[in-house]
Chain A
């Protein structure tokens, strides 16, 4: 395929989108077509092997967050490239006779065309609705050329589990947070079920009475070097239990144990469920289905304002307030 460098204008793309909708309306006779949009989600990714994955994620996400999706795929090619196409994804909601359709504008660009994308993207965000930037390839956050795109959105969504050096990655995120961006991390959202299970256990009076006596916390990960997930959990628990000695190893949380003298409260991974064992020996099985990127994104998109617990935890990890 020859390299494509053409002039791309936001107005032209919006006109193309209008044609897509017109065509959808004309050809669809059985089910009504509803153009749905609650926000603009900009997605930055790299390479060209994950189109299907990404399409699946955005397709799933539109159930809970119908949006205008603007995808930038950065590719490494010897010649400059900048191309775009528009299309719509439609889904028939369960039991409904209406198709919910979201529009998508997809760009392919070489890195030298990032400024061009920035200029076009400014005209593509939906007026008066939230705009978020999902940096699907977290490494982009470290790239100097990519910094030009950050002003497109204040909330930045990243998956810090992708950073080879967890602490360095989190520090990079904290820098953006300090500079005024609202940083969101899918690695943090993956921990919600763990954190919520612990919180639930401490609803019982037996466990609640134990809080001030917890002197040791063990967080064990399934894999080698300490990951951002385990670091987050350690920092979160350290803020709540400042007097406890906390050991945290590995990544991919497998078990959290809170010890108060001879008594302990534990949450452990058991395949598709978490098994929580509380002080009194009561065992609870909490469903923990694998959460897709779409699930995690949906959780983050439900918090568009400040997230004080996360912000404080990120700060605690990066500044070593342990």
Chain B
């Protein structure tokens, strides 16, 4: 009984599935999960696109930071693959330079780097060349012997999305998707998972040709953010809120992901993708699912992902004729902001001057289940907005009968009690605020909204692991809880595809339709106004 209690507590603390935690204690008698970080098993990480931006900015700093925190095993290696001819030593030097440039909030320790760099290897090869995979197989065999990686390999596709299927096929044909002697092979795929429903299915077919679903780790770095994970802790660790978390008490929910920057040199990619594909289809629908899902019986990958998938499947699929009533596309135009002239999207480098790309997208999602029927979920995202902010605002219903009415200028009755609002702030200023009404001091009974704030920084100082650190460890440990599963990808596309198609068929006439530095097109305000709602200013 006592052991069970402790395991449950540790499980909550580390977010480790129960079965795995019990296994940990049995397998290595020296483990102390309460104090030691989750251990990563001996393994090699093979990065396709090792010379790319993601590797330099995110993957390598995350792996180095994990080494700094002693979280990587003794038997650990990284094999980088890209087309550029380079020796192992050249690769190490390149990565050392980029690490020094991109390492944030962490010191660079030369001795530690030297030790870490001994486990870095490089292989020049083209993703489409089968011979490269044969060379990789030989190299991995050597590394397994010299670095004691036990034959475990995590393949990470940090390449152009169009290469995912080719790389998976190459690995499969070289026999690298399967391992002997109980070793594991896993494949991490970065978003986008297709550019529409058909291409997503095609990608899945290509991946599944050689890898089983439990070998696939589709990364959505939003789910690795501490604040997104905290939504589950907040909802299911606090009985105070969960009884209110339904259509009886919640009026509507607003999810905002605003960026103040433009396309920043990614114009070519972005004009093909657009805001709906780039943000809503993946990140924001995952956030929505986290906010709205049912609790799983246990906190482990299958249960949590089943609930997320179930929620995504409950999203109403709009008919073609309904799309324009429930969605708004926008594109920013030039504007002068803060004394500086900002270009419109069509003036950005690499962008077609006639581009019809959505740099702003707002969608009213409806979830067709008993908990959420009739509660609109307003989701918006955009570039060149007044500030960078991602948050979720849950607006509760007004009181059924107000005692605190006041008379307006025209003699009309105005309710001074404003509805409660709960804000989950993902970034920046991570935290949670609850807005409620309070009596203004003085004579009479006038109410004013006030805020009760929880700020991460005031309760948890310290450094927060980056999303990539969290997700890399999870993949190496084999915990897929924060990764996207195939049925979740499909359900997201099912919700988004009709919108894409309708937008494609009826291109907006007014692009650009919002000036840079504003909160988006007026049509977006009108979409909410039709339901008697309005966007809050984050």
Which residues of A are found within 8 Å of B29, using beta-carbon distances?
202, 211, 240
Which residues of B are found within 8 Å of A94, using beta-carbon distances?
105
Name the interface residues of A197-243: CB closer than 8 Å to any CB of B: 197-206, 208, 211, 240
Q: Is B36 an interface residue (CB 8 A)?
A: yes
Which residues of A are found within 8 Å of B31, using beta-carbon distances?
199
Q: A38-B459, A64-B460, A299-B35 are in contact. Are A204 and B111 (CB under 8 A)?
A: no
Q: Is B115 an interface residue (CB 8 A)?
A: yes
Which residues of B are found within 8 Å of A285, using beta-carbon distances?
111-112, 115
B 30-72 to A, binary, CB cutoff 8 A, 1 in contact else 0: 1110111001011000000000000000000000000010100
Pairwise interchain contact A203-B461, C-beta atoms closer than 8 A: no
Contact for A198 among B6, B30, B460, CB less than 8 A: B30
* B75 to chain A: closest residue by CB: A204
Pairwise interchain contact B68-A192, C-beta atoms closer than 8 A: no
Which residues of A are found within 8 Å of B461, using beta-carbon distances?
36, 62-66, 93, 100
Which residues of A are found within 8 Å of B112, using beta-carbon distances?
273, 285, 287
* A309 to chain B: closest residue by CB: B32
Q: Is B510 an interface residue (CB 8 A)?
A: no
Contact for B36 among A196, A276, A280, CB less than 8 A: A196
Which residues of A are found within 8 Å of B74, using beta-carbon distances?
200-201, 203-204, 276, 278, 282, 284
Bound-state CA distance A299–B462 (Å) is 11
Main secondary structure of the interface of B (DSSP, over half): loop
Which residues of A are found within 8 Å of B73, using beta-carbon distances?
200, 203-204
Bound-state CA distance A200–B74 (Å) is 7
Q: Is B321 an interface residue (CB 8 A)?
A: no
Minimum CB–CB distance from A168 to chain B (whole Å) comes to 26
Name the interface residues of B447-484: CB closer than 8 Å to any CB of A: 455, 457-462
Q: Is A307 an interface residue (CB 8 A)?
A: yes
Q: Is A298 an interface residue (CB 8 A)?
A: yes
Q: Is A306 an interface residue (CB 8 A)?
A: yes
Name the interface residues of B11-35: CB closer than 8 Å to any CB of A: 27-32, 34-35
Pairwise interchain contact B70-A203, C-beta atoms closer than 8 A: no
Pairwise interchain contact B30-A34, C-beta atoms closer than 8 A: no
Q: Is A305 an interface residue (CB 8 A)?
A: yes
Which residues of B are found within 8 Å of A195, using beta-carbon distances?
30, 32, 35-36
Bound-state CA distance A183–B36 (Å) is 19
Name the interface residues of B97-120: CB closer than 8 Å to any CB of A: 105, 109, 111-112, 115
Q: Is A127 an interface residue (CB 8 A)?
A: no
Q: A202-B30, A286-B70, A287-B109 are in contact. Are A63 and B9 (CB under 8 A)?
A: no
Which residues of B are found within 8 Å of A100, using beta-carbon distances?
457-458, 461
Pairwise interchain contact A36-B459, C-beta atoms closer than 8 A: yes
Main secondary structure of the interface of A (DSSP, over half): mixed
Q: Is A27 an interface residue (CB 8 A)?
A: no
Bound-state CA distance A285–B70 (Å) is 10
Q: Is A303 an interface residue (CB 8 A)?
A: yes
Pairwise interchain contact A284-B6, C-beta atoms closer than 8 A: no
Q: Is B150 an interface residue (CB 8 A)?
A: yes
Which residues of A are found within 8 Å of B111, using beta-carbon distances?
273, 285
Pairwise interchain contact A193-B70, C-beta atoms closer than 8 A: yes
Contact for A208 among B28, B35, B147, B462, CB less than 8 A: B28
Pairwise interchain contact A66-B459, C-beta atoms closer than 8 A: yes
Q: A280-B148, A309-B32 are in contact. Are A38 and B460 (CB under 8 A)?
A: yes
Choose among B75, B111, B462 the residue with the greatest number of A CB atoms under 10 Å from its CB: B75
Q: Is A162 an interface residue (CB 8 A)?
A: no
Which residues of A are found within 8 Å of B148, using beta-carbon distances?
204-206, 280, 282
Q: Is A88 an interface residue (CB 8 A)?
A: no
Bound-state CA distance A126–B486 (Å) is 48
Bound-state CA distance A208–B42 (Å) is 12
Bound-state CA distance A105–B73 (Å) is 44
Which residues of B are found within 8 Å of A291, using beta-carbon distances?
none
Bound-state CA distance A226–B239 (Å) is 50
Bound-state CA distance A204–B74 (Å) is 7
Q: A63-B462, A204-B42 are in contact. Are A306 and B6 (CB under 8 A)?
A: yes
Which residues of B are found within 8 Å of A36, using beta-carbon distances?
455, 457-459, 461
Contact for A192 among B35, B75, B105, B150, CB less than 8 A: B35
Pairwise interchain contact A34-B458, C-beta atoms closer than 8 A: yes
* B76 to chain A: closest residue by CB: A284
Can you report 18 residue pairs joining A to B where beta carbons are below 8 Å apart?
A34-B458, A96-B457, A100-B461, A195-B35, A196-B32, A199-B32, A200-B70, A200-B74, A202-B29, A202-B30, A203-B39, A204-B42, A204-B75, A205-B42, A276-B74, A282-B75, A285-B111, A287-B70
Contacts beyond the supplied A203-B74, A204-B73, A309-B32: 14 A-B pairs with Cβ under 8 Å: A36-B459, A36-B461, A65-B461, A192-B35, A196-B32, A200-B74, A203-B39, A205-B42, A240-B30, A276-B74, A282-B75, A282-B148, A298-B462, A307-B34
Which B residues contact A (CB, under 8 angstroms)? 6, 9, 27-32, 34-36, 39, 41-42, 68, 70, 73-75, 105, 109, 111-112, 115, 147-148, 150, 455, 457-462
Q: Which 7 A-B pairs have the closest CB atoms?
A: A36-B458, A199-B30, A64-B462, A63-B461, A64-B461, A38-B459, A285-B115
Which A residues contact B (CB, under 8 angstroms)? 34-38, 62-66, 93-94, 96, 98, 100, 192-193, 195-206, 208, 211, 240, 273, 276, 278, 280, 282, 284-287, 298-299, 303, 305-309
